[in-house]
Amino acid sequence: MQLYVIINLKLKCMKRTNLRIYRTILPLVLGLLLSVGAVAQQMSVKGTVKDQTGEPIIGANVLVKGTTTGVVTDLDGKFEVPAAKNAVLLISYVGFQIQEVTVTGKPLVIVLKEDTELLDEVVVLGYGASARKQDLSASVGVVSNTDELAVRPVTSTEGMLQGQLPGVTIQADGGDPTSSPSIVIRGQGSAKDDVLWVVDGVPGAPIASVNDIESIVVLKDAASAAIYGAQSGAGGVVLVTTKKAKEGMPALTYDGTFGLRQATNLIDPLNAEQQIEMRKRSYANAGMTLPTGWDVSKNPWVGTTRTDWMDAIFRTAFYQRHNVALNVGTDNYSSRISFAYDNDEGVLINTFNKNLSLRYNGKIKLNKWVTISEDFVWKNTESRSKNTDNDGYTGPIISAIYMPASASIYNALDGSYGGTTTEDPAYIAQYGSNFADIHGDAVNPVRLLEAENRYNKTSDIWSTTSLEIANVIPGLKFTSRFTYNLNSNLYKNFNPIRDEVGKPALSNSLTETTYRADAWKTENTLTYDHTFGEHTVGALFSTTADRYSRRGLEVTGRDFADESEFLQYLAYAGTTQAIDYLAGPDANVSLIARLAYSYNDRYFATASWRRDYAGRLPKANNHGDFPAVTLGWKISNEKFFKKSNFISLLKLRASWGRIGNLSSIPFNYKSPLLEKTSWSEQAQYGVESGKVWGNFVYNSRALNPELTWETSEQYDLGVDMELFRNRLSLSLDYFDKRTYNLIQTREMEWPTTIGLDPLYVNQGEVRNRGFEAQFSWRDRINKDFSYFVTGNFSYLNNKVTDIGLKNADGTPGVWTNSKRFRGGSYIYQTAEGEPLNSYYLIKTDGIFQTDADAAAYVDKNGNRIQPNAVAGDLKFVDANGDGKITDADRQYMGNATPETTFALTLGFNYKKLSFSAMLQGVGGAQAAYIGKYMLLGDVEGNFNRSSEILNAWSPSNTGSDIPRLSKNDPNGNFSTASDWYLEDASYLRLKNITISYDLTDMLRKWSHLNERNSRMSVYFSGENLATFTGYSGMDPECGGWDAMKYPVSRVFSVGVKLTY
């Protein structure tokens, strides 16, 4: 009976209506209470549990406080439980506040109050510190509806977080299954703005599966992140809490998601006939003779469309995720084991990311003082992808555009991969040539994705053991934690001979690499929490230490006489070459202190301080201090404040803190090391005896002994409100973040004439200021229908406030950036007062419509500004008025960071059906669609192009914004870094629609499942359903540099959630 009750309790705890917040503390509180047994005079207590509308609550838990005795209310909300007189009953139901009622002997009527007040949640803040959400004085973003988010077909935690919190900008940066979206908290402060992920208190630990996440807390302001000091990453900290072992009888849950994903809005390359037409026009417009191979009478092969290459490389991909969790626990020992498997197939053929993971969480209470817990995660990953963003040469997507449509995927003669043209000897005999020359070095993209034989598996094991000593002195707790991580990988890739026409490579190679990374971290923390009358104090002192090293081996074998799969082993290589290495070791130590104080639930203050020591820096310069303070004032608890139905909570917050970004400094930076490279190629000498270079060693590093980490300081002012009987909650924040000592490679004062790689320097300051708003409206109209609308908005202003260097004439210098696409020019440069990584381009002013227009574009002396321009060429703005178009005419034109980000989610529950829809978007973002250099211009290479090129300007198509089609480019339409490449990348996306239906009733028709209170829900979800944007490329979410990156895909999925 007792066991049965416990099961019920556990399962009731899990029972919840959708879109309510799953509560962590409840089972823990109950568990503690259950652990102490009591025996007293028993009587039978009867009662009814109702909600505020008077409706009976079915399935509410009624527990006799201090015992393990409990029951569940029936269909009429009634219960009967044996209890002693004056015993206290605890009545709880998910979504309602817990109530305590003293047994009087009379039947009880208990009205539970709805717990819509999310602010009652307890929020973890790192190193064991936590606070009630409504008591927070720092700016912290909380995502606690992770279970609902996880039913979406999201493949990463970042993807799940997108649009959930204001000021947390997540950008997909393409749709490669092996990479995750980028996350930037409150604006980019530096080029390498890392965010620290802390999972269950362990920095850098993996998340076994999104289904294992209980809640996510983003420490947005520096005051809250400062407790992680230099480890924070100038970006901030994300704390992830996973689901833990709970008391209760064995319970099994299963979460499954199955989806289909498809790429949308792909580029449409020219077909064979169109390519010939385009090429004819391009050569003719340049006054050049068309190469013979484009003449269909001489090379008929080129005139027939055989392959839709986009179709050949993209597929409808299958996505699946499974998570099985088993939980069992008594008051002294509890454990939870979960297995997760996900297979995320990419929309490009043969790309995938598979994970098989095991997670264990267990807790053993040795006695009333000592608790030991263990977290163990083993993540086994297998992945395969292909770089799509390699500057326009042989990425698979760009190759699918370059490859002529007249080519075939497979060579009809022997079934091998097809090249740019036919290899049929009869054809060559008849036509004299197969004219491979006219297609340039395009490669078969299907082959790129398929031909290599690859094995790539990573095993990542994390074990964290914690010892907790508590209750010796009330409020005092000591926690000691040790984490060990072992990460190993084996990569083996056989690259066969590429004998196809086009770009043949006649040698094969086998690359094998393996590494083993060992890391440990330890943390020893003392906390003290106590309330004296109206004063509440929380103190924390902690020390941490960590160490990391990675050993690896890389072997290359070449010249395999036999390419059979079973002989793709090094023993059969003609030559082999191997190197090994040690990365690191790295070691860090820190001291942490934090003090929180509150008075009368009105005034709140916290102060923290952290000192970090980093082994990678020279001793004299290896430490830094990271202080923080926060203040909060709950005005609504003041006597003068009249609480009303209109407003129930009003709180002002202010905070200041400092954090650092250690990850911007490489391991062992302090050591002046030589570089080495190894080549197995013929050297300068010994050619007759086949001497190869082997290792060569050189001095190329410049060392800055003064180097220190990037630092960021931030002020935050905020206000939290609860309005309309807690139906509306509102949060507003203003922040001002100053990131200084930016680590950069020294560009200025480091011309390449120095001959060494640029020095790392601390230089400059970036300021991010912004405003964030978040609201949530939740209302229940009646028992069957409730709805909600939540939304957030943030505005960000990013600019460089100190460039940190001066030109020779005393004016502020600039930060240059040489990133370029193929033979194009650089496009980024940053100046003081401009945003970080600004586009620095020459402005265009449309297209010359006539030769006369072009000739009439003259300077003050009447000389032509663009002497080579004719009708159809771009008109460049001579910004400095010197009569020439040069780099001096470039202007700053914004950057890729969105100025505004916003999201809106609406949803409702009607009986067993729930529905939610999420809109997400960004405004004021720019992107350089740099791929247009090769897609819409026919200058470089004789590749195939986008079908858009046929819309280029011509005398009969004067409305076009694509410059005239020409084989050469005397006006520099394409080679000039102009704003013709720059597009507005703002968008509004229907990010997700999810419909779910609760099938529990159906399930419970089977009495066994009814007894167990089993549950089941099914889901249908659609992701990236529609995008509204003016951007002309595949997807505006490209990170500001669009060179035909792996596109974001649309996904439809179904899911099931089952609790046995």
Partner 1 sequence: MKRNIFYIVISSTLLLSSCSEFLDVQPEGDATINTYFTSDQQAVDAVDALYERFHQEAVYGRELFWEQGAACDVVWGKTRGYPTLATLKYTGDESPLRTVFDRMYTIMARSNYVIKQLLTKAGSKTLSDIERRSLGEAYFTRGWAHFLIAYRYGTDKQGVPFIRYEDYDNQNDYYSIPPQRESVIDNYQYIISDMDKAIEYLPRFEEYDVDDRGRAHDAAAVAFKAKVYAYWATWDATQWEKVIAMVNELEGTYGRDLADTYAQVFSSEFTDFWNKEYLWTIPGNGGSTGGGSEFPGVILENKAWGKYNGWGQNKPSYDIYAELLKDGEGNDRLIRILLEYGQEFRLLGETRKFWSTSDIESGFMINKYMDPFKHEDAANKGYINTNGDWPTARINFPIIRFAEMLLFRAEAYLMTNRADKATADLNRIRQRAKLAPLAATATMSDLYHERRCELAFEFTDHLFDLKRWHRSGNAEIKALAAAELNAHPRVRHYKDRQNPDSEYTVGAYEDYKDKATYKDHMIVFPYPSQQVVNSNGKLKQNEGYN
Q: How far is the CB of 666 from partner 1 (least distance, A)?
A: 10
What is the nearest approach in angstroms of partner 1 to the Cβ of residue 706?
A: 11
288 binds partner 1 (CB under 8 A): yes
Examine residue 503 and tell whether it contacts partner 1 (CB under 8 A).
Answer: yes
Nearer residue to partner 1 within complex by CB, 594 or 634: 594
Q: CA-to-CA distance for 999 and 913, rounded, in angstroms?
A: 10
970 binding partner 1? (CB under 8 A)? yes
Q: Residue 714 in contact with residue 736, Cβ under 8 Å?
A: yes
Pick 252 or 545: Cβ nearer partner 1 = 545
- Minimum Å gap between C-beta 432 and partner 1 is 5
Among 96, 417, 478, 604, binds partner 1 (CB under 8 A): 478
What is the footprint of partner 1 within residues 869-928 (CB under 8 A)? Answer: 886-887
Contacting partner 1 within 974-993 (CB under 8 A): 975
Beta bridge partners of 345: 352
Q: Which is nearer to partner 1, 282 or 794 (CB)?
A: 282
Please tell me the distance from the alpha carbon of residue 871 to that of residue 969, in angstroms, as a whole number: 13
With CB under 8 A as the contact rule, the residue among 747, 889, 979, 1037 that binds partner 1 is: 747
| In the complex, least distance from residue 291 CB atom to partner 1, rounded to whole angstroms | 6
Angle, helix 2-14 to helix 25-34, in steps of 10 degrees: 170
Structural contact between residues 89 and 65, judged by C-beta atoms closer than 8 angstroms: yes
Closest distance to partner 1 from the beta carbon of 420 (Å):
8
Name the residue nearer to partner 1 (CB basis): 287 or 862.
287
What tokens does 679 get? 């080549």
**Binding-site member from 21, 136, 614, 659 for partner 1 (CB under 8 A):** 614
- Which of 673, 856, 913, 1002 is in the footprint of partner 1 by CB under 8 A? 673
Q: Which DSSP state fits 958?
A: T
Residue closer to partner 1, measured from CB, 694 or 1030 = 694
β-sheet bridge partners, residue 209: none
Give whole-number Cα distances, 495 to 350, 562, 668, in Å.
Answer: 15, 12, 34
Strand partners, 49: 110
- Strand ranges inside 825-942, DSSP E: 828-831, 840-842, 844-847, 874-876, 890-892, 900-910, 913-923, 926-928
CB 1036 within 8 A of CB 927: yes
Peptide bond into 585 cis (omega under 30): yes
Amino acid sitting at position 387? N
Six-digit token string for 643 = 């609480």
Q: Fill in the per-residue mask, 298 to 327: x = in contact with partner 1 (CB under 8 A), - = not in contact.
A: x-----------------------------
CB of 1027 to partner 1, least distance (A): 33
When the beta carbons of 352 and 840 are compared against partner 1, the nearer one is 840
Pairing of the two strands 43-50 and 108-111: parallel
When computed from its CA atoms, the radius of gyration of the chain, rounded to whole angstroms, is 33
Using the rule CB under 8 A, is 473 a contact of partner 1? yes
Q: Which of 120, 273, 391, 437 binds partner 1 (CB under 8 A)?
A: 437
Of 668 and 776, nearer to partner 1 (C-beta) is: 668
Q: Which stretch binds partner 1 (CB under 8 A): 350-358, 504-512, 598-606, 788-796?
A: 504-512
* Dist CA 303 CA 280 (whole Å): 13
Options 3, 43, 582, 856; binder of partner 1; rule CB under 8 A: 582
- Cα–Cα distances in angstroms (integers) from residue 6 to residues 73, 243, 330, 974, in the given order: 14, 19, 9, 72
Q: Which is nearer to partner 1, 122 or 683 (CB)?
A: 683
Residue 1043 binds to partner 1 (criterion: CB under 8 A): no
At 240, which helix (H) or strand (E)? strand 236-242
From the list 201, 362, 804, 813, which residue makes contact with partner 1 (rule: CB under 8 A)? Answer: 813
Q: Report the Cα 454 to chain-centroid distance in Å.
A: 26
Q: Is 511 in the site for partner 1 (CB under 8 A)?
A: no
Least distance (Å) between residue 428 CB and partner 1: 7
Q: According to CB under 8 A, which one of 267, 401, 501, 803 is a site residue for partner 1?
A: 501
How far apart are alpha carbons 804 and 783 in whole angstroms?
A: 62
Question: Distance (Å, rounded) from C-alpha 628 to C-alpha 713?
Answer: 9
Assess 581 for contact with partner 1 (CB under 8 A).
yes
Of 20-28, 453-461, 611-619, 900-908, the segment contacting partner 1 by CB under 8 A is 611-619
75 versus 697: smaller Cβ distance to partner 1: 697
Nearer Cβ to partner 1, position 534 or 887?
887
Q: Which of residues 2-31 bind partner 1 (CB under 8 A)?
A: none
675 binds partner 1 (CB under 8 A): yes
DSSP label at residue 472: S
Q: Which stretch binds partner 1 (CB under 8 A): 51-59, 70-78, 614-622, 906-914?
A: 614-622
Query: 858: which residues sit within 8 A by CB, 6+ positions away?
Result: 864, 865
DSSP annotation string for 82-140: EE-TT-EEEEE-TTB--EEEE--SSPEEEEPPB---GGGSEEEEETTEEEEGGG--S-E
Rounded CA gap, 896 and 845, in Å?
22
Token duo for residue 204? 């850098």
The number of residues that bind partner 1 (CB under 8 A) is 127
Q: Where are the alpha helices (DSSP H) in 920-1027?
A: 932-935, 1000-1003, 1007-1011
Taking contact as CB under 8 A, which single stretch among the options 244-252, 505-513, 728-736, 914-922 is the one that binds partner 1?
A: 505-513
Interacting stretch for partner 1, rule CB under 8 A, among 61-69, 265-273, 344-352, 577-585?
Answer: 577-585
Q: Which residue from 391, 518, 625, 940 is in contact with partner 1, where contact means CB under 8 A?
A: 940
CB of 403 vs partner 1, minimal distance in Å: 15
Q: Which two tokens stand for residue 336?
A: 């939870």
Among 126, 201, 584, 835, contact with partner 1 (rule: CB under 8 A): 584
Nearest approach, Cβ of residue 472 and partner 1 (Å): 4
Amino acid, res. 964: R
Among residues 547 and 727, whose Cβ is nearest to partner 1? 547
As beta bridge partners, residue 463 has: 376, 484
Instruction: Report in angstroms how near the CB of residue 543 gets to partner 1 at its nearest.
Output: 5
Q: Which of 252, 260, 469, 1009 binds partner 1 (CB under 8 A)?
A: 469
Q: Which helix (H) or strand (E) holds 425?
A: helix 425-431
* Interface residue with partner 1, options 415, 751, 846, 862 (CB under 8 A): 751
- The interface with partner 1 within residues 134-193 (CB under 8 A) comprises none
- Of residues 595, 759, 789, 999, which one binds partner 1 by CB under 8 A? 759
- Contact present, 476 and 469 (Cβ < 8 Å): no
Should residue 1002 be labelled a site residue for partner 1 when binding is judged by CB under 8 A? Answer: no
What does the per-residue mask of binding to partner 1 show for 823-842, with x meaning CB under 8 A? xxxx----------------
Which residue in 318, 698, 910, 1006 binds partner 1 (CB under 8 A)?
Answer: 698
Least distance to partner 1, CB of residue 285, Å: 12
Site string for partner 1, 388-427 (x = CB under 8 A): ---------------------------------x-x----
Closest CA to 230 of 705, 663, 618: 663
Distances (CA, A) of 112 to 18, 87, 115: 19, 19, 9
Segment contacting partner 1 by CB under 8 A, of 36-44, 282-290, 629-637, 1020-1028:
282-290
Q: Please report, as a single letter, which amino acid is at residue 564.
A: S
Cβ count near 1005 (within 10 Å): 8
